[in-house]
Amino acid sequence: MIGTIFISASIIFNISVSAVFIAVKLDKQSLLQVFGAITLAMALPFTVTLIGYWQDKAEKKIIVSHIFILFYLFLELLLDYILKIPFREILALHIPYILFFYAATFNMIVVSFKINKKMGFVVTGTFLVLIGCLIYLYLG
The pLDDT value given to residue 140: 76
| Spacing of C-alpha 35 from chain mean position | 12
Q: Is the pTM of this model over 0.85?
A: yes
The pLDDT value given to residue 5: 97
Burial 70-90 (b: 16+ CB within 10 A, else e): bebbebbeebbeeeeeebeee
| Tens-digit pLDDT profile for residues 94-127 | 999 999 999 999 999 999 999 999 999 999 999 9
The pLDDT value given to residue 58: 87
Low-confidence ranges of the chain (pLDDT < 50): none
The pLDDT value given to residue 107: 97
